[in-house]
Amino acid sequence: MNGLVKANERKLLFWWVVMLLLILGVITTITGCNSGWAVANLIITPVDKNNSVYTIIVDQDSTEHWYDKAIYTEENYCFKHHIWEDVRKKNSE
């Protein structure tokens, strides 16, 4: 009799887990998927998408420069032009 009770408890636990996963799947499907991306409730538009692993800086003559991670006010390697470039901070005055 004790083995029968444990088997029934296992079946009941199994069906509870199945139902929980089913409910979570339905909730995720209804609320989680949409046609776009959002980060912290901010919708990312195609203009905001930047698929680059580099930090991209646009020069005053509209030339793009691709630097790795941080940019220092010294020589930085530009991965777009494949040269070391001297970067200086300019005052906006």
Q: What is the pLDDT of residues 1-35, one digit of tens each?
A: 566 668 888 899 999 999 999 999 888 877 765 55
Residue 46 in this model has a pLDDT that exceeds 80 = no
Q: Do 59 and 40 reside in the same domain of the chain?
A: no
Domain containing 61: what range?
54-86
State which H helix or E strand residue 74 sits in.
none
How many degrees, rounded to 5, is the angle at CA 35 between CA 31 and CA 40? Answer: 65
Tally the domains of the chain: 2
Q: Do 15 and 38 reside in the same domain of the chain?
A: yes
In a domain, 76, yes or no: yes
Q: Do 15 and 39 reside in the same domain of the chain?
A: yes
In a domain, 91, yes or no: no
Per-residue pLDDT reduced to its tens digit, 56-73: 888 878 888 888 887 888
Query: Which stretches does DSSP call E strand in 5-60?
Result: 37-39, 42-44, 54-58
Per-residue tokens: 79: 């991965």
Q: Do 38 and 62 reside in the same domain of the chain?
A: no
In a domain, 49, yes or no: no
The reply to whether the predicted model has a pTM over 0.85 is: no
User: Please, what sign has the CA dihedral across residues 66, 70, 75, 76?
Assistant: negative
In a domain, 92, yes or no: no
In a domain, 93, yes or no: no
Q: Do 40 and 59 reside in the same domain of the chain?
A: no
